[in-house]
Amino acid sequence: MDPIITIKNLYKSYGSKQVLKGIDLDVYPGQVIGYIGPNGAGKTTTVKILCGLIADYTGEVVIKGMDLKKETLRIKQLIGYVPEVNELYDVLTPSEFLTFTGALYNLSPDVTTERIERIFDALGMSGHLNQRMDSFSKGMKQKVLITSGLLHNPEIIILDEPLSGLDANSVIIIKDLISRLAKDGKTIFYCSHMMDIVEKVSDKIVLIDDGVIVANGTLAQLKDQLGDNSLEHMFASLTTGQGGSSAAISIMDALHTNSDSGNE
């Protein structure tokens, strides 16, 4: 099977600051990729390139046989992007915002309306369809964003921290949704630093640090490779260079400094 996403030798810098330093990655249809790394590692930049938000990268990105730089619009139609929570116009109502999204994805208004209503029903949000989003909680906004990402039934779904700020119930719904979408043959690019969930939903884990991929494989492969039990430990050893526990020890030391002056 041919990969649905091929990234070759991807470089990107902001001014003098190089963010991506040669990313190579193949993603196959129906895979759930957990793309993880610490803050500032280059996760979001990769996602922005894949979504066509950043065009001035060097290297090659091919999606479904099309070059991202040449056939941007056709590729965008294939992708559903769920950004982090704050990226929406919150003075609008979900109905207004999603109808707008549908129009941009070339859906007919009738189809859009029906899909919005059914998805909102399933998410338990029907009552909020015509309320302005500025009063919404993080979880509610996230549900609107997820709806906007799925509305046009995309083949590739890119999720950037989709579970941040969600309540336990919504987390279960989204996790379940991710595995069902994958079973349906959709490719999911899951970007996060919440390791425990990545561990559970992903077929393949890609760990990025300081603009390069430091590990790439299934959970089992990574475990073999590193001989460690949980991904969180791997994560710590790969990215901080010293492991999480020494940071914890330093913090404990700080708390034990002279308690008399602690109130100042």
Partner 1 sequence: MNNFFNKALLWLFLQPKGLYKKLNVNTSHLRAILIIKLVIDDRTATGINRVRAQTRSEDPSTATMFTMLISLVMGVVLLGVFMLSDDVTRMTFYFASLGFMLAMFMITDFSHILLDTKDNYIILPKPVSASTFLIGRLLHIVIHLLKILIPMALPGFIALWISRGFLGALVFVPVLVLLTVLTFAIVNVLYLLILKLFSVRKINAIIASVQIGFAIILYGSFQILPRMLDMTEIENIHLGDYALMWLFPAYWLACAWKFIYSLNLEPTLIYGTVLSVVVPLLSAWLMIKYLAPSFTEKLSMMSGGGIEQEVNKTVVNSKRSSSGGMLRIFSKLMTSGEVERQSFLFVGRMVSRNRDFKLKVYPMVGYMIVLFALLVVNKWGEVDLYNLDIESSNLKTSFLFTIYLSSMICVSALLQLPYCEQFKAVWIFYSAPLERPGDIFSGALKACIYRFLLPFTLLISGVSLVIFGIEILPNLVLGFGSVFLIIVLYAWILFVRLPFSIPLKKASEEKTTYQNFFIIIVLPIFAIPQYFLFEYSLAVWIISGVILSGALFGLKYMRRIRWSYLKEG
Least Å distance between CB 229 and partner 1? 33
Does 111 help bind partner 1 (rule: CB under 8 A)?
no
Amino acid sitting at position 107: L
* C-alpha–C-alpha distance, residues 61 and 158, integer Å: 15
* C-alpha–C-alpha distance, residues 155 and 29, integer Å: 9
Least Å distance between CB 158 and partner 1? 8
By DSSP bridging, strand 5-14 and strand 17-27 are antiparallel
Residue with tokens 């708390």: 255
The answer to whether 225 and 35 have CB atoms below 8 angstroms apart is: no
The answer to whether 34 and 232 have CB atoms below 8 angstroms apart is: no
* C-alpha–C-alpha distance, residues 218 and 238, integer Å: 16
Of the listed pieces 46-54, 201-209, 222-230, 233-241, which binds partner 1 according to CB under 8 A? Answer: 46-54
Least Å distance between CB 172 and partner 1? 26
Report which DSSP code applies to 114.
H
Binding mask 127-156 for partner 1 (x = CB under 8 A): -----x------------------------
The region that residue 6 occupies, defined by phi over 0 for left and psi between -120 and 50 for alpha, beta otherwise, is beta
**With respect to partner 1, which residue has the nearer C-beta, 28 or 105?**
105
Binding mask 196-225 for partner 1 (x = CB under 8 A): ------------------------------
* C-alpha–C-alpha distance, residues 159 and 179, integer Å: 13
Angle between helices 94-104 and 138-150 (to 10 degrees): 30
Enumerate residues 51-110 that contact partner 1 by CB under 8 A.
Answer: 51-54, 73-74, 76-77, 79, 81, 83, 87-89, 91-92, 96-97, 100-101, 103-106
**With respect to partner 1, which residue has the nearer C-beta, 100 or 172?**
100
Residue with tokens 């609008």: 92
Least Å distance between CB 78 and partner 1? 9
Does 15 help bind partner 1 (rule: CB under 8 A)?
yes
Site residue total, partner 1 (CB under 8 A): 34
Binding site for partner 1 (CB under 8 A): 14-15, 17, 19, 40, 45, 48, 51-54, 73-74, 76-77, 79, 81, 83, 87-89, 91-92, 96-97, 100-101, 103-106, 132, 263-264
